[in-house]
Structure 1
């Protein structure tokens, strides 16, 4: 006899599984008592191609008796046409999974996870934050194969309208990389971001301000020596021109990375922009600064900890704020500027080999055979270069008194 809603509601789990038939192969499956979260569900037994098969229609009461009967009739129509309803259901489920995995956000996260293996943790987090803030909220659920140039342009213009034209251009560049990854994995046919090249206002890349006149560099070093702020910030500023690493790498320096015996600072790739380890040879002047700083912070993780909490690194604005306090504007000098100073003067004044300078700057450098340098390449030569550089800065520092050479007087 056919089932009724009343009979279904009254049916309770027992010590054995139950199959309440509604006819035509449709039945309500009731698991035995004590089988956890398993609930009543509609199932259809049928034959196709000479084989008996089973189709799970769905759980009761989410799928009502009426809906289950409708599904049975639709399945029978498919069987008459030689179509297997169970296989059809599996195919639809697979298509749904593939669609979800091919949304812009899913593909972007897949690309990011792969690329992050070659990036520093900081840079990886920065790229993901930009995507989460600027791209995903607007087109994250769009299948990447259906993403239109006009949709992406709308997103980029939202970023531009916030006064962040550089960020808009950078987001376009990143989205282009994601689309090229989608091309390689068979999700889209082409990267259309080059078509948007002239759709945004041109952006002129801003280089980090730096001083490259040796006389003025000497005056800057003397100003740093006379800085009256915290000892930790002063030590960081004194070390910065000697090692010329990126500001983020400097403030995240840890005592466990400093080897006084070998006179080396080994920065792990997880902290580097390009994800590669870097050895920074320490001159005798750098060692002296670090040993003095060790008396202050040697019991903590970071060489230059935050003034608010020694468990965190120094703020990324600490050195910039120190420059402002000394009367140096951001258009005249930044923490990044020490790298430009070293790059210019090591080459143009000291005549050091460009490949050694570039390698010490942690830029991508290859030998004559196209092989990438590793962290130990030309280490003896780089140690000599770093000591010569420190000695040269010492000469510049000693050649005169503190003189204001910036837009504001240092005494203001």
Structure 2
């Protein structure tokens, strides 16, 4: 006899387990304590099985019968209702876990794996971009719920402020985190790919540089005549000879430099491309370094700040010196010495591979890059000495005299 709500309400515990059928395998399991639980008997793959359908009255008689019919439909399709229920439950649990993983959690996990290979300055810069610009918009959001529009909404705030390059940096950062999430199994798709396509293009930044031999000669004379802090003066006099990046020169340590062999080896941690860089030192540079050692000593920083021996001179200190000499930002920059050297050496026929290796520009092929850097060292040593002699010859000379630079 089929059950009714009245019968269900009237059921009383007897101290023993009771099973009251509603037909079609559906029954009420009445516990000795009075609990009323819906159960469904069914057979699958030749085995007798039981499926829990909920507790009465939370699950009504009508709902229990509906669930029985749904189970029958699954059986008709060759699906085990019990296994199907487990799969749904697991999927719901997985979705709940997925929803609990926020963008900030994934980003910090990515940062934790990557930051050990970065310089302290780069670590600080990336963390600041995350904490100040991305976390306020995306930090508490479930990572799996984020769409392209969410990422764009965060990075276009920087674009709206006119900081286009920052917006592009943020887009790249989001892309790296999103790829990490996909590869790590946190997300199924890399939805942050190609974000830069929706941003205004970055205007290429060109550093002003003197490339006229005569003008370069006048600049060198101005640097020689400049009176200022010893570390600033020596750094400015050395920079044209070595054409390294400003930070690489300013952060130079005495333990990196061997004056006897006339070599300066900048460790990978201080290089933009994270590879050690060997710089052959011309006689003129060795002489200037000997002079600088009289001021800074032979340990620690080569160019310490006058305010603190533990801090190097600043880029602004070098730039301000150029400005005091009368060279505005549209004429010459600190970075411009690299452009000056590259332009003139190329114009005078030096091997482009030697020049690129000396500038520490990366090859697309890492193996070839490492090979060329070692292979070109004798050639670069000769080129750097000839360049230094050429600079000395430019001081106060005419354009005609400057053409005497030797060709390899």
TM-score with structure 2 setting the length: 0.69
The answer to whether the 8 Å contact 1:156/1:168 transfers is yes
Query: Can you list the C-alpha shifts for 1:125-147, whole angstroms capped at 9, x where unaligned?
Result: 33333223221232123233222
Q: Is the 8 A contact 2:253 2:300 kept in 1?
A: yes
1:362 maps to what in 2? 360
Contact 2:103 2:139 in 1 (8 A): yes
* Cα drift, residue 215 of structure 1: 1.5
Aligned-pair distance for 1:113?
4.5
Cα distance in 2, alignment partners of residues 214 and 292 from structure 1:
27
Match of 1:399 in 2: 397
CA shift for structure 1 position 347: 1.2
Tell me which residue corresponds to 2:370.
373
Q: Deviations along 1:158-181, whole A, 9 cap, x unmatched?
A: 223433222112221232233233
Give 2:317's aligned residue: 318
Aligned mates of 1:256, 1:96 — CA distance in 2: 55
Mean CA deviation greater in 371-380 or 274-283:
371-380
Partner of 1:207 in structure 2?
Answer: 206
Q: Are the aligned partners of 2:218 and 2:396 in contact in 1 as well (CA < 8 Å)?
A: no
Which residue pairs with 2:121 in the alignment?
122
TM-score by length of 1: 0.69
1:329 partner SS: coil
Give the 3-state SS of the residue equivalent to 2:395 in structure 1.
helix
Distance 1:120 1:339, change over 3 A: farther
The Cα offsets for residues 278-324 of structure 1, whole Å up to 9 and x where unpaired, read as: 11111111101111000000155111111211111112211111112
CA distance in 2, matches of 1:339, 1:285: 18
Partner SS, residue 317 of structure 1: helix
Question: Residues 316-370 of structure 1, C-alpha deviation per residue, up to 9 Å, x if partnerless?
Answer: 2111111122222222221111111111111112x22111111111111267x96
Residues of 2 paired with 1:116 and 1:276: CA distance? 17
Partner in structure 2 of residue 328 of structure 1: 327
Q: CA–CA distance in 1 between the matches of 2:254 and 2:235?
A: 14
Deviation at 1:250, TM superposition (A): 1.0
* Contact 2:283 2:385 survives alignment (8 Å): yes
Residue 229 of structure 1 aligns to a residue in which SS? Answer: coil
Q: Name the structure, 1 or 2, with higher relative contact order (CA <8 Å, separation 6+).
A: 1
Q: Match for residue 172 of structure 2?
A: 173
CA 1:196–1:232 in 2, change beyond 3 Å: closer, same or farther?
closer
Post-superposition offset of 1:269: 0.6
CA distance in 1, matches of 2:231, 2:289: 10
Supply the distance in 2 between the matched residues of 1:363 and 1:352 (Cα, whole angstroms).
16
Cα distance in 1, alignment partners of residues 360 and 100 from structure 2: 39
Within a 5 Å distance, the mapping from 1:13-412 to structure 2 comes to: 103-116=102-115, 119-186=118-185, 187-194=187-194, 197=197, 199-349=198-348, 351-365=349-363, 371-373=368-370, 376-399=374-397
Change (3 A) 1:111 1:357: farther
Contact kept in structure 2, 1:243 and 1:282, CA below 8 Å: yes
The structure-2 alpha-carbon separation of the partners of 1:338 and 1:124, relative to structure 1 and needing over 3 Å to count, comes to: farther
Q: What are structure 1's unaligned runs of at least 5 residues?
A: 1-23, 25-72, 74-80, 401-412
User: Conserved in 1, the CA contact under 8 Å of 2:98 and 2:144?
Assistant: no
- Distance in 2 between residues matched to 1:196 and 1:353, nearest whole Å: 36
- Structure 2 vs 1, CA of residues 182 and 299 (structure 1 numbering), >3 Å: closer, same or farther? same
Contact conserved, 1:120 with 1:272, CA < 8 A, in 2? no
Q: What is the CA distance between 1:243 and its match in structure 2?
A: 1.1
Q: Is the 8 A contact 2:147 2:191 kept in 1?
A: no
How many pairs does the alignment contain? 321
The structural deviation recorded for 1:388 is 1.3
Structure 2 unaligned residues grouped into runs of 5+: 1-32, 34-57, 59-80, 399-408
Label 1:95 to 1:301 Cα distance change in 2 as closer, same or farther (>3 A).
farther
Work out whether residues 104 and 140 of structure 1, in 8 Å CA contact, stay in contact via their aligned partners in 2.
Answer: yes
Following superposition, the deviation at residue 105 of structure 1 comes to 2.8
SS at 1:393 equivalent: helix
Structure 2 CA distance, aligned partners of 1:124 and 1:340?
28
* Aligned residues of 1:243 and 1:280 also touching (Cα < 8 A): yes
Coordinate RMSD, CA, aligned = 3.4
